[in-house]
Structure 1
C-alpha cells in the first residue's frame, strides 16, 4: 500500500511502539474529565454549533485535551455512539500513537499539525472503518497546545471540505480561549489592585501575568515564582516558605478564580537569629559545596574522578581543580584512531607540570584502561579522570576509577532548578554585559528539564544572544531553543524522582523502551504515559 509521507511516518512510530494492525483498542488510562477546564468552557458552545450543523449525518466531533485525553463528543445518532465506544473513543480515554496508532487525534497531537486519515490509512484494523480529520488547538497567547479537535465519519464519506470546516471551528475555540484569558487577566488585576497598598509584599501570578507592589519587587526574586506557584497548588490560606535569598516568609495564598491565577501576601518571619534578606550571592557554575571540593582537590593536588551526565560541566570542573596550573587534556574517544599511540602520548604528558585530564573514561577499551591504570601506579603525575555517571563504569574502567583519591559527582541541572536563574545570568555574561534576561525568560528557562544540562542551557543562551545582541532577552527570544515553548507546572518532588529513575533506566538500556519498561517493572504503555506526562525526551 502506498502511504503518504506523514502517514508512513506515523505507521513507523506505531510499529516501533510495539503495536501491530491487529492490536486491540482497550480502555487504558481512563481518567475523570475536568468539566470546568478552560478548554471545555471555550469549546462547548463551538461543539454545540458543530452538532447542530452535523445533525442527521453520520459524522461526529471529538475534542481531546493537552494530554490527548478525550474530554467531549458530539453526535446525532446512537449508531455513531456505539461505533465510538467500540474503539474506546470515550471521555477520559487517552489517544496516543503508541497505543492507538495512526488516527486523527493521536497523529495531530504527535505532529502538531492538521492531519486527515482515511480508511486503510489507519494503522489499527479496528479503525479502518472511519474517515477523519484532526487539527491541534493552540492557545493564542502561550502558543502551547491546548488540545485536538477531530471530525469523524464512515470510511468512504471522505470530503475535501472536512479540513476547512474543522479549521474554522478550531479558530473559534482559539478565539474564545483568548477572550477567556483576557477576562482572567482583568480579574487578576482587579484582585491585585484591591490589596496592593497593604503594608506587606503583594504578588499576583497568572498564566502569563506577574503583578507586584514595591515591597514584593524588593523581597521576591524571579526564581521564587516557581516556589510560590508550587505552594499555591497545594495550599490555601497561610503557609510558610523560604525564598531563594534565604529569607523565611509567611505567605497567604488566595485563588482569584478558577482560571485567573493566584494572589500572594508575603511577610518575613521574625526569628530569634537575624535573617539577612539579600539577592543570591554571585556564584560560579557549580553548587558551593561541589565548588569547594573541587578547589580543595586542587589545593591538595589530589587525583580526582569527576563524574556526571553529558553537559554537566565535567571539563569546566577539571579546570577549577587545576586552578592556575597548566591543563593537558586527552579524550578517550580518540583511542579508536590508535590505542598504542594514544597511550604513549598520555604517558609522555605525565612528565609535564600541571593537571593531566582524561575525558570519557567510560569509553576506554579494556586494554587502554589497564595501561592507564598501570601508568597511575608508576607515576606521581597529577590526574583528573572524567566520566559519565558512576553506573556507566564497568570492569577495567571501574578498576581505573578506583585509583582516584577523591570522587566528585556533578548534579544534573534538573536537580538545581532553583539555581537556574543565577546560572543563566552567569553564562549570559560570556556573551556581553549588555544583555539581560527578563522574568518571563527566566521562568521559561526554569521550567525546562535540560537533558543536555549546562551545555544545553549555554547553547540556548548563545542562540538567543545571536538573535538579539543587546537589551532584554524575553521568553520569545529563548523559546526557539527550549523543548517546551511556554513555562509549565514544576514537577513535584515525587515526579522529579520518577523522572530521574526513568532517565537513568533509559540511558542504561541505550534508549530501548521495551527493555527499560521491563527493568522498571511496568508495561510499555505505562512507560510511554509517564514519559509524556513528565516530558522525558
Structure 2
C-alpha cells in the first residue's frame, strides 16, 4: 500500500472507492458522521404541495411509477434544499424501507446528516451520481443501489431539485442513469414552460395597474417589473423585505424601506406561482409603522450597533475585535459618540516602547475615548504596562484587536481588563446585508450614484477577505470611473477578482474554516494543513477551488 493508501486508511476511507465517492465519505467524516450513525431522527418540515417544482414533476413522476410497475425500484424527488417533496413506489415493502431510513416527505437529505447517497451527493456536487451498496457511507443505506441527478432550471441555471431512483443493492443496472436523465430532462422542460406561463401572468397583472398614481412593483421568481415611481422609491435591497412580507401578509400594511422611508404597501398574489404585486405609497414619517425591519443605514448588524451605543452611553471600557477591515475603528467612533477620540496605534511601538506608553499615560487624564488599535501587536512589556494603567486609571478605553484567537499571553491578559467584548463579524457572513451596506458606503462618494441590481448581486457574491475596507475601496474605484448615474456590474468588475459564482453551503463552510485556520497559523500553509488534518497539496487545491487569497 502506497503513502496515499496509508493516509486514506488512517482516515477510515476505503482505498478502493471511486474518487467522487471517496470525496463524499471524507466530507461526511468531517461533519462528524460515522458509518453507524442513525438517521431515524431527522427533522421533518412541511412540503409546499403547490410549488413550481412539484407541479412540473408530478406528471413525470406518475409516468415513472407506471414504467417501474412490477419492479422493486422507486423514485424520490427533493427540492432546492434537498428536502424530499415527493415519492413514487409500487410495493409496500419499498415504502417501509424508505421510512426506515427517514426518506419521507419533509426530510432534508444532506451529506452532513445522511452521508453519501444519491440525493445528498448530487445535491453537493451538482452532477449525476450513482451509489451502489457498500458505497453508501451509512450502514443503514448499504442495502440500496441508487442513481441521483440534479434538476436545473433551464432559464435561471439554478438548482431546482434532485431526482433519485432507488432499489435493492442486488438490482443494480447501468441503464438507471440514462432512464433517470430522460425524466430529469422532461421535468426541466416543464419547469421552463411553467415559468413562461407564470411570467405572462405576472406581466398581465402588472400592466393592468402600472399607470396608477402610486409605485407599482411586481416580483416573480426571476422577474422584476416596476413603473417609474417604484424605480425611484424602491431599491433592489428592498425586494427580499417585500417578498418576506408577501409570504405572510395580504392586503394593506405599513413598513419602512431600507432607505428609511415609511410606506404603505398593498400586497396581492398574482397566482400560486407567478409572483406578487405590490402597490406602495410613502406616508408621513410621523405615521405609525406596523413592522420596522432592521435599518440598513448602519455598517454593523443591529444587535452589535446597539451594544456599541450602550457601551458608549455607559462609558464602559470595551474590546472590539474582528478581522482586518471589519470596521474596528469605525466601531470605536460609534462608542465615542460626540466625545473626542484619542487614537494610539500599537504598530508605533517599534519607534520606542517607553515613549509610546508614556504618551498613553499622559493622555489618560484627557477628556474622551482613548483608542488603542492593534493590541495583538503589542510586545509583552507594553501590554503589561498598559494593563497596569487600566487597573489604576479611570480613563475611558477602547481596545481594538484582531480575532480573539490572535491574542496570546500578556495581550490576552490585557484584553481581560475590559468590561465588554464586542466581536465584529466578517463581511462574508453578512451576504444578505451587503447590498444595504454598499448603498450606505456609496453615499460617501456622491449622492447621484446608484448601484444597479446586477452590481449588487456581484458585490454579494464576493468573499471580501478585506471586509468593509475592501468593499469601500472597490466602490471608491468605481466611483472614480463613473462619477454620476448607475454603477453596473461592469463598472465594478475590474476590482472584483472573483468569478462571482456563489458557493454552496458546504463550500462556504469549508472556505471559512480554511481562512480561520490560515489566520491562526499566521499564513503558514504547512502548519494550517497539519491542523486541518489534510496534505499540503490538498490544501492548495481547495484554496484554488474556493478562491482563497
Please name the residue that 1:472 is paired with.
Answer: 488
292, 315, 320: which one aligns with 1:307: 320
TM-score normalised according to structure 1 size: 0.68
Matched, 1:53 2:67: yes
Contact map agreement 1:201 1:266 (CA 8 A) in 2: yes
For CA contacts below 8 A with separation 6 or more, give which structure has more relative contact order.
1
In 2, Cα distance between equivalents of 1:282 and 1:157: 56
363, 374, 389: which one aligns with 1:359: 374
In 2, Cα distance between equivalents of 1:404 and 1:27: 44
TM-score normalised according to structure 2 size: 0.67
Please name the residue that 2:25 is paired with.
Answer: 11
Matched, 1:86 2:100: yes
Moved more, 229-238 or 152-161: 152-161
Please name the residue that 2:261 is paired with.
Answer: 247
Please name the residue that 1:527 is paired with.
Answer: none
What are the superposed Cα offsets for residues 268-310 of structure 1, whole Å, 9 maximum, x if unpaired? 224669x9xxxxx99896799979x99xx9xxxx998561432
Q: How many residues align?
A: 465
Please name the residue that 2:136 is paired with.
Answer: 122
Contact map agreement 1:138 1:147 (CA 8 A) in 2: yes
Contact map agreement 2:261 2:282 (CA 8 A) in 1: yes
- Offset at residue 21 of structure 1 (A): 2.2
Q: Any idea what SS the aligned residue of 2:218 has?
A: strand
In 2, Cα distance between equivalents of 1:194 and 1:66: 33
Please name the residue that 2:184 is paired with.
Answer: 170
In 1, Cα distance between equivalents of 2:210 and 2:190: 30
Contact map agreement 1:328 1:349 (CA 8 A) in 2: no
Q: How does 1:198-237 map to 2 (within 5 A)?
A: 198-237=212-251
Moved more, 176-185 or 407-416: 407-416
What are the superposed Cα offsets for residues 193-220 of structure 1, whole Å, 9 maximum, x if unpaired? 1111112111111122221112222222
Contact map agreement 2:83 2:107 (CA 8 A) in 1: yes
Please name the residue that 1:494 is paired with.
Answer: none
113, 117, 133: which one aligns with 2:147: 133
In 2, Cα distance between equivalents of 1:98 and 1:282: 34
Q: CA RMSD in A?
A: 5.3
- Offset at residue 65 of structure 1 (A): 1.4
Matched, 1:190 2:204: yes
What are the superposed Cα offsets for residues 403-440 of structure 1, whole Å, 9 maximum, x if unpaired? 77999875765998897435325667999999963224
Kindly tell me: are residues 227 and 158 of structure 1, through their superposed partners in 2, closer, same or farther at Cα, counting changes over 3 Å? same
Kindly tell me: are residues 351 and 6 of structure 1, through their superposed partners in 2, closer, same or farther at Cα, counting changes over 3 Å? same
8, 22, 46: which one aligns with 2:36: 22
What are the superposed Cα offsets for residues 465-518 of structure 1, whole Å, 9 maximum, x if unpaired? 9xx9x96217997784464689xxxxxxxxxxxxxxxx9xxx9xx99xxxxxxx
What are the superposed Cα offsets for residues 420-465 of structure 1, whole Å, 9 maximum, x if unpaired? 4353256679999999632244267569998985267569979999
Please name the residue that 2:347 is paired with.
Answer: 330
42, 65, 70: which one aligns with 2:84: 70
Contact map agreement 1:27 1:93 (CA 8 A) in 2: no
- Offset at residue 118 of structure 1 (A): 1.2
List alignment gaps of at least 5 residues for structure 2.
1-13, 290-294, 364-369, 506-511, 521-549
- Offset at residue 127 of structure 1 (A): 1.8
Kindly tell me: are residues 286 and 4 of structure 1, through their superposed partners in 2, closer, same or farther at Cα, counting changes over 3 Å? closer
